A and B are shown apart, each in its own frame.
Chain A
Amino acid sequence: AQSVTQLDSQVPVFEEAPVELRCNYSSSVSVYLFWYVQYPNQGLQLLLKYLSGSTLVKGINGFEAEFNKSQTSFHLRKPSVHISDTAEYFCAVSVNTGGFKTIFGAGTRLFVKA
Chain B
Amino acid sequence: EAGVTQSPTHLIKTRGQQATLRCSPISGHTSVYWYQQALGLGLQFLLWYDEGEERNRGNFPPRFSGRQFPNYSSELNVNALELEDSALYLCASSAGLAGYTQYFGPGTRLTVL
Contact = CB atoms under 8 A, between A and B. Distances in A.
A96 B100 contact: yes
A101 B42 contact: no
Contacts of A92: 102
A43 B107 contact: yes
Instruction: Please report whether the interface of chain A is mostly helix, strand, loop or mixed according to DSSP.
Output: strand
Interface stretch (A20-28, A57-65, A71-79, A102-110): A102-110
Contacts of A90: 42-43
A84 interface: no
A41 B106 CA distance: 8
Contacts of B98: 100
Given A41-B109, A100-B94, A46 B56 contact: no
A43 B45 CA distance: 14
Q: How large is the interface on B (under 10, 10 to 19, 20 to 34, 35 or more residues)?
A: 20 to 34
Interface string B83-113: 0000010101010011111111111010000
Q: Which 5 A-B pairs have the closest CB atoms?
A: A43-B104, A44-B104, A99-B97, A106-B42, A94-B100
Given A32-B101, A99-B56, A102-B102, 12 more contacts: A32-B100, A34-B101, A43-B107, A44-B43, A44-B90, A49-B101, A51-B100, A90-B42, A92-B102, A94-B101, A96-B100, A100-B97
Interface of B: 4, 6, 33, 42-43, 45, 50, 55-56, 88, 90, 92, 94, 97-107, 109
12 contacts: A32-B100, A32-B101, A36-B104, A43-B107, A44-B90, A44-B92, A90-B42, A99-B55, A100-B97, A100-B100, A102-B33, A102-B102
